[in-house]
Amino acid sequence: MSGLQRLQVWIAAIVVSAGIAVLPALAAGTQTFTGKVSDAMCGAKHQEGIDPATCVRACVKKGAKYALVVGDKVYTLDTPTQAEKDELNKLAWEQATVKGTANGDTIEVKSVMAAK
């Protein structure tokens, strides 16, 4: 095999490897999650003696991000628009359906609505 052929094989292997690395990200796409709207500071447990919805709103007002409690897992919600934040505020400690892309413990939110 000539040096040029080895170089071509090497470049082809790199291109194929890069393509395989990108596939999981493309396959993930938009997902649907249903759970209780909370905040990232308190998660599934809120301060005793205070209504959980009030606690969620107070924590967010103090700078916490919204979160979604799905079973035992708490996802931090990355909400790019004010409309999504307003909807989450209305749905504090209620069941909601969030569409978005999960990356570890964070969901990049595309839409929020009350769960049916």
R_g (Cα) of the chain, nearest Å = 21
Residue 92 scores a pLDDT above 90:
yes
Average pLDDT over residues 74-98: 96
Return the percentage of the chain with pLDDT > 90, whole number: 69
Q: Please report, for the chain, the start and end positions of each structural domain, with discontinuous segments joined by +.
A: 30-114
pTM for the predicted model, two decimal places: 0.75
Of 34, 30, 96, 89, give the one whose Cα is nearest residue 60.
89
Instruction: Read off the pLDDT band of 19 (50, 70, 90).
Output: low
Q: What is the C-alpha to C-alpha distance for residues 39 and 55, in angstroms, rounded to an integer?
A: 9
Residue 97, burial from CB neighbour count under 10 angstroms (0-12, 13-18, 19+):
middle
Q: What is the C-alpha to C-alpha distance for residues 83 and 92, in angstroms, rounded to an integer?
A: 14
Average pLDDT over residues 77-103: 96
Of 26, 29, 31, give the one whose Cα is nearest residue 98.
31
Give me the CATH code for the 30-114 domain, please: 2.40.50
Instruction: Read off the pLDDT band of 10 (50, 70, 90).
Output: low
Instruction: Read off the pLDDT band of 3 (50, 70, 90).
Output: confident
